[in-house]
C-alpha cells in the first residue's frame, strides 16, 4: 500500500505523460546524491532559469559568496559533503543576523536558542554565538553530523530534519513506516511543491557546482 501511495504522489507531481531526460551532469550529480527521480528532474527543469539566475546573483555578492566558500571548506575539513553549505543558504539567505519569521531562531543556520545550546553555542543576554560565522558553522557541522548518523548515513533525511526538526521527522517516519525522503518530502509539501525544501536544496547544490545551467 505504501508503495502504491508513493507512486501516486510521484505521478501527481509530474505533468501528464511528461518524462524528463536530464543532462549527463545532472544525472551524475543525482546518482551521487540520491535525487535521481522524475520529481526532482521535473522540478529543476521547470525552475532552472530561476536557480541559475540566483546562483549568479549569489556569486556576485562578495560577502555572501565569501561566507558560502568558508562554510563549504569548514564542512569539507570536518569530513562532510561541501554541498551541505546550501543548508544555511536556504535557512537564512546567508545573512548572519537575520531572525526567523517567528522570532525563535537566529543566525546563518537559524538555530533556536535551545538547539544552539545543545550544540555548544552560547546564547544569553550578553552573547549570541548564533551570529558568529565560525562558531555557528562548527555547530551546524556538528549537528548535521549527528543527524546523518541518526539516519544511518542518509543525507537527504538529515537535511529535512535540520529544517523541520528531528522529532517531527521521526514521528512522520514512524507514522508512515518508511524512511524514503522523497515520499516524506512530498507528504510535507504536496499542496505547495514550490516550497519543497529538499527540491530546493538539490537545485541550489547542483547549480552551485556549475552544473545544470548550460544552454
Decide if 158 contacts 151 (C-beta within 8 A): yes
What is the Cα–Cα distance from 108 to 104, expressed in whole angstroms? Answer: 13
Looking up cell 522524475 gives: 38
Among the options 23, 54, 82, 91, which is catalytic?
A: 91
The three state secondary structure string of the chain is: CHHHHHHHHHHHCCCCCCCCCCCHHHHHHHHHHCCCCHHHHHHHHHHHHHHHHHHHHHHHCHHHHHHHHHHHHHHHHCCCCHHHHHHHHHHHCCCCCCECCCCCEECCCCEEHHHHHHCCCCECCCCEHHHCHHHHHHHHHHHHHHHHHHCCCCHHHHHHHHHHCHHHHHHHHHHHCCCCHHHHHHHHHCCCHHHCHHHHHHHHHHHHCCCCCCC
Q: Is 23 labeled as catalytic in the residue annotation?
A: no
Residue 29 — φ and ψ, nearest 5°?
-60, -45
Catalytic residues: 91
Amino acid at each position: 500500500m505504501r508503495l502504491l501511495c508513493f507512486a501516486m504522489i510521484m505521478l501527481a507531481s509530474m505533468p501528464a505523460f511528461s518524462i524528463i531526460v536530464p543532462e549527463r551532469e545532472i544525472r551524475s550529480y543525482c546518482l551521487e546524491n540520491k535525487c535521481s527521480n522524475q520529481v526532482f528532474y521535473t522540478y529543476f527543469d521547470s525552475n532552472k532559469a530561476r536557480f541559475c539566475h540566483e546562483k549568479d546573483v549569489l556569486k556576485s555578492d562578495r560577502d555572501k559568496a565569501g561566507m558560502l566558500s568558508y562554510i563549504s571548506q569548514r564542512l569539507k575539513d570536518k569530513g562532510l559533503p561541501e554541498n551541505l553549505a546550501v543548508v544555511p543558504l536556504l535557512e537564512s539567505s546567508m545573512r548572519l543576523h537575520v531572525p526567523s519569521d517567528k522570532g525563535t531562531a537566529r543566525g546563518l543556520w537559524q538555530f533556536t536558542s535551545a538547539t544552539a545550546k545543545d550544540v555548544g553555542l552560547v546564547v544569553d543576554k550578553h552573547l549570541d554565538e548564533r551570529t558568529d560565522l565560525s562558531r555557528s558553522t562548527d555547530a551546524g557541522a556538528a549537528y548535521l553530523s549527528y543527524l546523518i548518523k541518526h539516519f544511518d548515513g542518509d543525507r537527504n533525511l538529515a537535511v529535512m530534519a535540520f529544517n523541520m526538526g528531528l522529532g517531527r521527522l521521526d514521528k512522520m517516519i514512524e507514522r508512515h513506516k518508511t524512511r524514503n525522503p522523497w515520499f516524506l518530502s512530498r507528504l510535507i509539501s504536496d499542496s505547495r511543491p514550490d516550497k519543497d525544501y529538499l527540491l530546493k536544496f538539490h537545485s541550489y547544490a547542483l547549480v552551485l557546482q556549475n552544473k545544470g545551467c548550460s544552454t
